[in-house]
Chains A and B, each alone.
Chain A
Amino acid sequence: MCPNSRWLLTTAIAVLAMLTTAGVSAAQEYPGWFLNPGALDCRTPVVGYSYPAYHADSAAVLAIRDGFINYAKQRDLTISGGQAFWTTEIGMFWMGSNFVESFDSSRAGHAENVLAPQDTVFRDSFIFTLLAGDGCELNDDARAMHQMGASGQPAWVEATPKDSAFHYGVGVAPQYFYELSSWREAEKYACRNLARTILTSVQSLGKLGYQGQEIINEEVPVRLRDWQVAARWMNPDEKIFYVLVRMPKRQRGIVEPESVLK
């Protein structure tokens, strides 16, 4: 083989390898603390995410900082705004939305004194770390890696739990290039659904006649306090990510719709 053809072959193999390995690498194994944070015997467990960095310790620091921000959100998060839909005979169309999430970011600084990293998992596509208050001890099951799909779909995925202790919200997200984006989107929608359970304002303007049409507007002026992620799950076949969040029902000043509206 002449040098040129050898070079050509090497290049072809490299290109082929590049093309076949490109895409989302999803190792579908997660530690128990990530899948069931609600079952942990820890004070204020929070998970922080970050994208991979050249230096692993940089990524871990970013994940810890993200955890501090999530801590601040979980203490007090105001969700306000709404969205409108236009319904006609041929379907329902989205008209627009203006949801806003706001929280006191100065609490993130306070989190440094309250939380400590408990465990961190490094993946090709993202890094996630568990932070919790002092005295948190993870048992073997919490540290063990669980294969997605091995134990079937949890019940909360289809039927939102209902009990007298907590309000619940479930959020879903499809698979994105970065897995982190999927988990974040699922969490965002879970919080929004939790807020809707507490208070939703619905206005509907219908017109029936030659053409039937309706405009539906919904608004959510809710403040979530001391909510937490209770569980996460991923459907390995359909590549759908699920997050369950909950907030205690009996707590002073959970919802302040009036003050938010004004």
Chain B
Amino acid sequence: MRSFISLFVVVALALSIFGCGGSKPLTQTRTDPMPEWFSNPPQDPNFLYAPRTASSRDLNMAIEKATTNARAEIARQYELKVEGLTKSFQEEVGTDEDSEINQLFSQTIKTVVSTQLMGSRAAKVSHVKDGMNYRAYVLVEYPIGAANQAFMNALKANQNMYTRFRASESFKEMDDEVQKYEEWKKAQATKMQ
């Protein structure tokens, strides 16, 4: 019995000594500078870029939040670009209130932007400890050529409208971007060989 009490006292003493870890500051301010690519994202006419940051106690949750937010931003950027294109196409063909065009383009935007981002990638990811949290910095990139290609493929579903669109300046502009993207892909393939 005595030995049991002694053991209990020793364990209790040890726990009380090692359990007191001292007080830690409640908040710690992050002092690391944010990545250069975050404050000054790259500019490339062939890509859309979206830098985003988020924090969480869970490292992966911080990265997921920042990445998803960046992808939503990419979708918005592309949507704006296609809306601009729609307007210029409407001005070109002189049918501002053409409901068929409006419907077709809005449906196509929905298909391409809202349901498919093919080839978007987290090009750069960085994270730092920010007090009790992790702060993640993410740069998502999306090749415009790939998006345009998907857009044109979706337009092809309406053969009549696609034929009209093909004859426009807006199409040529978009087609140039697709061609540039194809050349870039070929150049990448050659580099690899």
Contacts and interface: CB of A to CB of B under 8 A. Distances in A.
Contacts of B55: 91
B20 interface: no
B60 A218 contact: no
Interface string B30-53: 000001000000000000000000
Interface string A156-194: 001110111100101111100000000001000100010
B123 A201 contact: no
A16 B69 contact: no
A171 B59 CA distance: 11
Interface residues of A, number: 44
Given A83-B68, A85-B68, A163-B192, A202 B114 contact: yes
Residue among B55, B67, B121 with the highest chain A CB neighbour number at 10 A = B121
B122 A160 contact: yes
Give the size range of B's interface with the partner.
35 or more
Contacts of B124: 158-160
Nearest to B79: A204
B14 A12 contact: yes
B188 A160 contact: no
B116 interface: yes
Interface stretch (B4-12, B98-106, B151-159, B166-174): B4-12
Interface string B90-117: 0000000000000000000000011111
A196 interface: yes
Contacts of A92: 54, 65, 69
A240 B120 CA distance: 25
B120 A238 contact: no
Given A87-B69, A202-B72, A240-B59, A164 B10 contact: no
Given A85-B68, A170-B125, A202 B192 contact: no
Contacts of A4: 2-3, 6
Given A160-B124, A200-B120, A216 B69 contact: yes
B39 to A, nearest CB: 15
A71 to B, nearest CB: 25
Contacts of B126: 158
Contacts of A164: 185, 188-189, 191-192
A177 to B, nearest CB: 16
A100 to B, nearest CB: 16
**Mostly helix, strand, loop or mixed at chain B's interface?**
helix
Given A12-B10, A159-B124, A164-B192, A185 B60 contact: yes
Contact of A199 (B117, B129, B192): B117
Interface in A43-99: 83, 85, 87, 91-92, 94
B119 interface: yes
A8 interface: yes
B121 A160 contact: yes
Contact of B14 (A16, A173, A201, A238): A16
Given A19-B18, A159-B123, A196-B120, A172 B59 contact: yes
A165 B192 CA distance: 8
A196 B64 CA distance: 11
16 contacts: A8-B6, A12-B14, A15-B14, A85-B65, A158-B126, A160-B123, A162-B123, A163-B191, A164-B189, A170-B125, A172-B59, A193-B122, A196-B120, A202-B71, A216-B72, A218-B68
Given A165-B192, A185-B60, A197-B121, 4 more contacts: A163-B188, A197-B122, A238-B129, A240-B59
- 4 closest cross-chain pairs (CB), A and B: A164-B188, A164-B189, A204-B72, A197-B121
Interface of A: 4, 7-8, 11-12, 15-16, 19, 83, 85, 87, 91-92, 94, 158-160, 162-165, 168, 170-174, 185, 189, 193, 196-204, 214, 216, 218, 238, 240
Interface of B: 2-3, 6-7, 10-11, 14, 18, 35, 54-55, 59-61, 63-65, 67-69, 71-72, 74-76, 113-127, 129, 134, 185, 188-189, 191-192
